[in-house]
């Protein structure tokens, strides 16, 4: 299995009125591929945030192989 980093991101307005990207949660998951990693991360995000749908707290997600993370 491979390890992936999945970041859940939200766009918000900062105090200066400019849009800022906020990382709501970063999860490291093991999965056979990116598609499965996203599914696992969405489920875990919902469990941790006590949500039925991840998009209630995030606008999008980014995924990358864990070995690329510095």
**Per-residue pLDDT for 69 more than 50?**
no
**Per-residue pLDDT for 68 more than 70?**
no
Q: Percent of the chain at pLDDT above 70?
A: 96
Residue-wise pLDDT tens digits, 34-48: 999 999 999 999 999
* 70 — pLDDT class (breaks 50, 70, 90): very low
Question: Domain 2-64, what fold?
Answer: Ubiquitin-like (UB roll) (3.10.20)
Per-position DSSP letters for the chain, written without gaps between them? -EEEEEEEEEEEE-TTS-EEEEEEEEEEEEESSHHHHHHHHHHHHHHHHT-S-GGGT-SEEEEEEGGG--
* 4 — pLDDT class (breaks 50, 70, 90): very high
Report pTM.
0.84
Domain spans of the chain, in order of start = 2-64
């Amino acid at each position: 299995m491979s390890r992936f980093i999945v970041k859940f991101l939200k766009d918000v307005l900062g105090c200066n009125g400019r849009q800022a990207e906020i990382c709501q949660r970063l999860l490291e998951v093991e999965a056979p591929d990116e598609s499965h990693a996203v599914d696992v991360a969405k489920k875990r995000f919902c469990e941790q945030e006590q949500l039925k749908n991840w998009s209630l707290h995030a606008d999008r997600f980014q995924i990358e192989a864990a070995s690329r993370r510095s």
